[in-house]
Amino acid sequence: MINLETPKKYRGFVKQVHEVAENFLRSNSRKYDLAEHAYPKELDLLASLVDGMNESGQSQGAGAAGVRVKDDAKDTGVKNGTNMSSVLSVIEMCWGDVGLLLSMPRQGLGNSAIASVANDEQLERFKDTWAAMAITEPSFGSDSAAINTTAVKDGDAYILNGEKIFVTSGERADSVVVWATLDKSMGRAAIKSFVVPKSLPGIRVERLEHKLGIRASDTAVIVLDNCRVPAENLLGDPEIDTSKGFAGAMATFDNTRPLVAGMAVGCARAALELTRDLLAEAGVEVDYDRPAQSQSAAAATFLQMEADWEAAHLLTLSAAWMADNRQPNSLEASMAKAKAGRVGNQITLRCVELASTLGYSETELLEKWSRDSKILDIFEGTQQIQQLIVARRILGLTSSQLK
């Protein structure tokens, strides 16, 4: 049985994270939105605190590495574990600021990718790295199977060539998890991920993008030009197993998509809370004991938004719970990402409308949250791709059968 109340053992931790989000992230939100590409120095102290909590076990397994589930033959009961802890912390942090969360050293999506598929030796070796994740290329967006970046074995190394775009923290991170194909003719099964330190010759940041939202986070174009990467930096199994197809690479998304859904849930909650306060100041009462149709249009709209938010919230927690309990969650991860990404953006935009001039101006953060939320419906697989994955899972069809 799934109990989606915040687990008792995490309530104190969630409260701590909320305080951090309020004092470190929310308080610097506007500053780094206006100063695009400026590094948020305040995050250095926060990152050190998170590292210390992870080392001591105080963080309850949250953070980028929290998506890794350890096998324990003695543990046969249902539980809320590190995936749930990570999602709960991400929700609170993005209540503070999405862009600043994405700028946290050693807490990038690349670190989550390492935690998802690395073996124990690699996990230990890369535990102190700050890893960006590079998947998208100029020739494709969400179709990760269309990767053209190549990795050719050469002795004890792989030679990587290709171009990656929209790499979050691509300039600031000290390494990049690069998705490349070992053999294009072998299809999806040949796609592997490599940890590429940026100190290696042959990898360079070509440019930084100017963006609508998450402006505190740097987004880079990265070029790999005969970059020689040690063979031991290939994450997981180096063998091409056509029977497994793309399953190994997609396991990363099954873990990270609930995190992105949590980002949307946290950002939307921030907008809802502020909008409710602004409506109250304007004399608009939201009455939970009366039918929506008997209230003002603004109150009825707000109630509908809260209902959509609750659905996204529960789907997100459900996907995390399934991961903690070793239940296949590919369908649920995509459902959570699709629902949360869509309603998160819809809610923030509608909150701007309800707040009128206050929502559109920089007096409040509503306009910023509406800009930030859009990317959460796009990266880690667009809304359309998530719906396609959900349809395939429900209908029992392969990617070649339903495109």
* AA letter at 66: G
Helix (H) or strand (E) holding 271: helix 247-281
Residue 203 to residue 199: CA distance in whole angstroms? 8
Which pairs with CB-CB distance under 8 Å and at least 24 residues apart come from 48-56? Answer: 49/20, 50/104, 50/106, 50/107, 51/106
Cα distance from N-terminal residue to C-terminal residue, the chain: 34
pLDDT attached to residue 73 = 41
Structure tokens, 192 = 């592997």
CA distances for 387 relative to 16, 329, 382, angstroms = 35, 15, 9
Residue 193 to residue 234: CA distance in whole angstroms? 6
The CATH number of 9-111 is 1.10.540
Task: Give yes or no for a contact between 151 and 106, defined as CB atoms under 8 angstroms apart.
Answer: no
Other beta carbons within 10 Å of 26 = 16
Q: Residue 220: what are its φ and ψ, rounded to 5°? A: -120, 160
Evaluate whether 130-235 and 247-395 have a shared fold: no
Closest among 190, 207, 201, 199 to 150, alpha carbons compared: 190
Catalytic residue at 163? no
Pseudo-torsion of CA 173, 36, 88, 143, nearest 10°?
-70
Helix (H) or strand (E) holding 220: strand 219-230
Q: What is the CA radius of gyration of the chain?
A: 21
Q: What percent of the chain has pLDDT over 70?
A: 90
pLDDT attached to residue 401 = 93
Structure tokens, 282 = 């304007």
Q: Residues 247-395: name the CATH superfamily.
A: Butyryl-CoA Dehydrogenase, subunit A, domain 3 (1.20.140.10)
* CB-based burial, 49-66: b 16+ in 10 Å, e otherwise: ebbebbeeeebbbbbbbb
* CB-based burial, 300-313: b 16+ in 10 Å, e otherwise: bbbbebbebbeebb
The class of domain 130-235 in CATH terms is: mainly beta
pLDDT attached to residue 98 = 97
Closest among 232, 231, 235, 197 to 117, alpha carbons compared: 235
Q: Where are the domains of the chain?
A: 9-111, 130-235, 247-395
Annotated catalytic residue within 92, 137, 367, 380: 380
Helix (H) or strand (E) holding 319: helix 297-324
List per-block mean pLDDT (blocks of 10 residues) for the chain, which spans 403 residues. 74 92 96 96 86 66 61 58 91 97 89 88 93 93 84 97 97 96 89 96 97 96 98 90 61 86 98 98 95 96 97 95 91 97 98 97 97 95 94 92 90
pLDDT attached to residue 155 = 97
Other beta carbons within 10 Å of 82 = 22
